[in-house]
A and B are shown apart, each in its own frame.
Chain A
Amino acid sequence: MSTQLVRRTIPIIITFLVGMIMIGQWFLQVASISELATSIQQWGIILAAFSMGLGSVNIIIRNVRRIRRREGTDWLYAIWLLFIFFLFSIVGIGFGSTSPQYTYIFNTILQPLSGTMYPASLFFLASAIYRTFRARSSQAIIFVIVGAIMLLANAPMMGAFIPPIIPLKSWIMDVEVTAAYRAILLGIGLGTIVLGFRVLFGLETAHLGREEAQ
């Protein structure tokens, strides 16, 4: 089998057939298409599970290399990462992902750390706002003014100090922001459909690799 057939033609055919089945499942009321589409979605879940295995191998190889190189202090974090990785894996496989043991380490290690990231985003957002809200152009000035209005209006007591700010905020959200969002959404929707057309009919092939490399 030629490389062109395996790496281009067959994937394009598979993409077209699967895409048409999924589109057919959305628009048509045909039981056989719905069943086929459900099977395809289940295959996708299995593919994702295998891909997670690939990701795990990637993590292990990269961090083992980091430990071997022992550059700076990164290798200490790599040791800790691999320890936690194997701890979760062994407990999950040995006792089950719904066991009290797994639930305990999940609730005491992963959940608090994940929860910490969300408040951290507040500080990053504040830092981004500080760097962004420098009025270097007319658009930036408008950005600063509208941003300031929205921030002030969202503070509960500002409605008492500056009463007009609440209806102004509502007008900005209901008229300006909604109009802009709908316009962008329309563009995104049409762009998605057209990109889907290009992918399904084999016009978009960047994801299949370079012809000169095959």
Chain B
Amino acid sequence: MSLIANGKVIDLAFLIGIWGISAVYILYKERLKFTIRRMVAIDAIEEAVGRAVEMDRPVVMNIGGGGLLRGEYALPTMAGLTVLDYVSRIAVRLGARLIAPMYSEGGVETIPVATEIIRDAFIAEGTIENFQPEEVIQFLPVQASVMALADREKPAANIMIGYYWHESCIWAEAFGRVGAIQVGGTTNLYQIPFFAGACDYVLIGEEIYPVSAYLSKDPRLISTIAGQDTFKWISLVLILLGAILVTSGNEWLTNLLKI
């Protein structure tokens, strides 16, 4: 019996390849000096929080119901937590009231992490006495409770970054109806069109991941984004090569990728 599971040798090679390229770029970051393009949706978050301060209405920062314990949902939730860190820092600094609803079983796993992130924002701004965890972090177990939050609080800004299911459309519309400026992003393919249609700014799929790199401008993080882009080019070459080979009746590459 081989050490590596059947059909996963190339997958493992690709994983090591992506990590390896990212590590090399990090090592040579001073020489390569990668830059990251402007992301309008992320820039709009500060504008949205500022709007909330002017209108004296709260900011809602929703990280979705994916949670941290289920593989495919954990990383979009991590991206949401990164944005929560950024939003909480701006909201506390500008004096906006922040509400972070935690939805469903996935959201409840994230309550302790989100609480610490927001508490640290208050501590960093020297206003820890204003931090009321039960008012900021709200466990809302069903979709309707988030809609009720929109109707009751009438936020000026709604930021939804994380993993969402069909509730994305309902919530985007519910918050849109109360006049909130909306920034949405998810990796669930089938919900991206709803965000694209209902939100003022949208992050499509992978765009939710480089938020920390974009905000911090840390060369190490930007180097990993460059590694990702390099592997996209490699994937593109493989796709074109594979299409040509299969069309000409050669299954060599197809069989290789199945190893």
Contacts and interface: CB of A to CB of B under 8 A. Distances in A.
SS class of chain B's interface: helix, strand, loop or mixed? helix
Contacts of B4: 27-29
Interface stretch (A59-67, A95-103, A156-164): A59-67
Interface string A173-214: 000000001001111101111111111000110110110111
A44 B56 CA distance: 40
A126 B123 CA distance: 44
Contact of B173 (A22, A44, A58, A125): A125
B209 interface: yes
Interface string A114-131: 100110110011011101
Contacts of A86: none
B240 interface: no
SS class of chain A's interface: helix, strand, loop or mixed? helix
Given A30-B3, A184-B205, A195-B209, A48 B105 contact: yes
- Which has the most chain A C-beta neighbours within 10 Å: B86, B112, B142, B173? B173
A205 B86 CA distance: 12
Interface string A129-141: 1011000000000
Interface of A: 22-23, 26-30, 44-45, 47-48, 51-52, 54-56, 58-59, 61-62, 65, 74, 113-114, 117-118, 120-121, 124-125, 127-129, 131-132, 143, 181, 184-188, 190-199, 203-204, 206-207, 209-210, 212-214
Interface of B: 1-5, 8, 11-12, 15, 18-19, 22, 67, 69, 71-72, 75, 78-79, 81-82, 85-86, 89, 102, 105, 107-109, 111-113, 116-117, 119-121, 123-124, 134-135, 137-139, 141-144, 152, 166-167, 169-170, 172-174, 176-177, 187, 189, 192, 194, 197-198, 204-206, 209-210, 212, 218, 220-221, 224-225, 227-228, 231-232, 235
